[in-house]
Chains A and B, each alone.
Chain A
Amino acid sequence: MTRDGGRVRAREAFTPRRLRRSAWRRPGSGTVTLATPAVLIGALLVGAPLLLVIAYSFLSRASGGVGVDTPFTFDAWRRLVFEEDFQGELVFAPQYLQALWRSVWMAALTTFIAVVVAVPTAVWIATRTPRVRALLLLAVTIPFWTNTLIRTYAWMIMLNDQGVVNNTLRMLGLPPTALYPSVFATFIGLVYVFVPFMILPVYTSAMKFDYRLAEAAYDLGATRGRVVRRILLPSLRPGILAGSILVFIPCLGAFVQPTLLGGSKVDLIGTIIQRQFRDSMNWPFGAAISVALLCVTMMALLVFALGAKRLAAQGQRASLV
């Protein structure tokens, strides 16, 4: 082979088409160096802050309140479960564990409501014509264009005593209801903010659904309800699972909605953490609760991973895209 021919081939090797076919595209074929950017970003933006938070949780309060100080201590962790009574003895104080449990429960309920809202919506969108589908998907994502905080303020305005909801009730001659601040308002805020994260993955699953399966089920004697329960819903499981991760995990640590819409009535783990860093100025304790929340989150992820594994065994793939 001539030198010229060799150069031409080398140039061709980097056309997109060649690159796509080249050995690099095969999983596990790249060199370790190729992973450097990803490893760096991960270490800098995930690993380091995480280590920092864990380290903070074992340190003492700084004298001014901002930051942490030596000596090294387990005080913050002790405070998570115990408090000192008047005699200076440690007694079991479950208030923070209860808040943690309340957060898990609230996140679970929000996820459930999101599923109930998202499944019919997603299936409906998936069955429209491509044009309408694009418009509806845009409608689902439009809220992302505005800051979550501002959208939550909007709910405060709508739900307060002089808001649209109560004004409408008054116009209809019904007694106005104290909707805000309340647990109910918090739920509305959470579901409202997180439901698009459920709709999009369920929509992806619904798009993959083979509607001929529904026809086959009808043909075999299934009624509409049974087609939905026995054929459609099982096919949407990968989407529901992916959506549940996207809703449940951020919900677990949410603090904007409970603070703004729940007021002092809803004390969740997110609001407590935020309070430790701002109002109470107890960074080590805030860090300790954060790490505790992280553990709960990891357990939740583990449950989801097991679910995904079971689905994969049935030939269905759950992924976030």
Chain B
Amino acid sequence: MMTTLTRDPLSIRGLTKEFAAPEGATFRALDGIDLDIVPGEFFVMLGPSGCGKTTLLRAIAGLEQPTAGEIWLGETRIDGLPPYRRRVNTVFQSYALFPHLTVRQNVAFGLEMEGRSPRSPDVRARVDEMLDLVRLTSVANRKPGQLSGGQQQRVALARSLAKQPEVLLLDEPLSALDLKLRRSMQTELKRIQVESGVTFVFVTHDQEEAMSMGDRIAVFDQGKIAQLGEPRDLYERPASRFVAAFIGEMNFVDAVAGPGGIRTSGGVSLPADALSQDTPPVGEHLLLGVRPEHFRVAADGAFAGRLVACEFLGADVRLCVQVGPDERVWARVSASYDGPTRPGSSISLAPQPGRVKVVPK
């Protein structure tokens, strides 16, 4: 039985963290982060390594002391509290399971630290419930060293959830697993999150993982939030070149708005209806972004050139086309594609109307 509590939102205000770098300089890992995490949501922090996402997670957990800013959990300011006084728990990237304790003892550890006896009926019941939730009842008396990676991952999850945290922080928990196991654990994590109703804050550098699991995603870049939104938002309306490149694939083309329409630097003239927005004022330099799946092969397509590569991927086919001296675009068409496949053949691609985005620089 899951106890439902009225959960508190997690609010982060102006959080900054600086590390002393060698040569006396400081490195700013977090640069004034403002963030509100809604109770019960699956929140993903996404970014390349070194972007500050893990530092933020550790600051929320209390394992890192921020240089400036505040962290609030409901009505309590928690940034000054030691880790053991925060109603927040972490699933570590390395799992950090205690090797000398059994699975059951590992899961009971947090409850024991609250001063409850591991033999008391309510602790036993809670541990059983957690083991059941992560489906590990059968290995309860084994040591972590005797478990597979996926099982260890689930022990770590059960151990943190046993404490009934307000917020569960997950630091790249799936990065040590192979691709197949990863997929099934993603589904599993999502199920556990929905069943437990706990707010999950999930850190990852894998955009596909972020898209598949997150209710909302914050994309981090150099200690700042580059964009915050739902997966579809980020994909369809990226706020910057960084986000556009990081989420999914995107072809970038430099262009100038001329009197007769838009011309790319490679000399391609785009039809007026290609842009997803109104034509910008004449003379403006633009960065255009086109997703590969928004191209189709057409006899009179604007992006005409020579085929560089044709890759069959099963579900679809990737085509690389050289349209100008320094301009190359990738297209993704359905597997039933029957056009030219030999490199050097001439081919032309047409962007779907209204799918060419002007990417904010």
Question: Which residues of A are in contact with B by a Cβ distance under 8 Å?
Answer: 210, 212-213, 215-223, 226, 230-231, 234-235, 314-316
Are the C-beta atoms of B110 and A218 separated by less than 8 Å? Answer: no
Q: CB of B100 within 8 A of chain A?
A: yes
Q: In the bound complex, what is the Cα–Cα distance between A231 and B98 (angstroms)? A: 7
Chosen A-B contacts, 5 in total, with CB atoms closer than 8 Å, are A215-B96, A216-B90, A220-B109, A314-B99, A315-B145
Fill in one digit per residue for B295-339: 1 if any A CB lies within 8 Å of its CB, else 0: 000000000000000000000000000000000000000000000
Q: Which residues of A contact B109 (CB under 8 A)?
A: 217, 220, 222, 230
Shortest beta-carbon distance, B175 to chain A, in Å?
A: 15
Known contacts A220-B159, A220-B160: does B96 contact A212 (CB below 8 Å)?
Answer: yes
Contacts of A223 in B (CB 8 A): 84, 113
Candidate in A212, A213, A216, A226 with the most chain B CB atoms within 10 angstroms: A216
A222 to chain B, nearest CB (A): 5
What separation, in Å, do the CA atoms of A217 and B110 have in the docked complex? 8
Distance between Cα atoms of A213 and B94 in the complex (Å)? 9
A259 CB → nearest B CB, Å: 42
Check if A316 sits within 8 Å of B89, measured CB to CB: no
Given known pairs A220-B89, A220-B163, A315-B145, the reply for A215 and B99 (CB within 8 Å) is no
Residue of A nearest to B84 (CB): A221
Query: B143 within 8 Å of A by Cβ?
Result: yes
Q: Which 7 A-B pairs have the closest CB atoms?
A: A216-B96, A221-B113, A220-B110, A221-B84, A218-B83, A315-B145, A234-B100
**Residues B84 and A212 in contact, CB atoms below 8 Å apart:** no
Task: Across the interface, name the chain A residue whose C-beta is closest to B95.
Answer: A216
Does chain A have a CB within 8 A of B92? yes
**B21 → chain A closest CB, angstroms:** 16
Residues from chain A with Cβ under 8 Å of B194 in the complex: none
For the complex, give the distance between the alpha carbons of A231 and B110 in Å. Answer: 13
Q: How far is the CB of A231 from chain B (nearest CB, A)?
A: 6
Whether A212 touches B113, Cβ cut-off 8 Å, given contacts A315-B99, A315-B143, is: no
Is B340 on the interface with A (CB-CB < 8 A)?
Answer: no
Complex formed: what's the CA distance from A210 to B113 in Å? 20
Are A210 and B110 in touch, CB under 8 angstroms?
no
Q: 1/0 per position for B53-77, CB-CB distance to A under 8 A?
A: 0000000011100000000000000
Is A221's CB under 8 angstroms from B94's CB? no
Q: Quick check: B63 and A314 within 8 Å, CB to CB?
A: no
A222 to B159, CA, bound (A): 13
Q: Among B61, B94, B100, which residue has its beta carbon within 8 angstroms of that of A316?
A: B100
A210 is contacted by which of B63, B96, B159 (Cβ under 8 Å)?
B96
Chain A residues with Cβ under 8 A from B97's Cβ? Answer: 216
Which B-chain residue is minimally distant from A221 (CB atoms)?
B113
Interface residues of B in 74-118 (CB under 8 A from A): 82-84, 89-90, 92, 94, 96-100, 109-110, 113-114
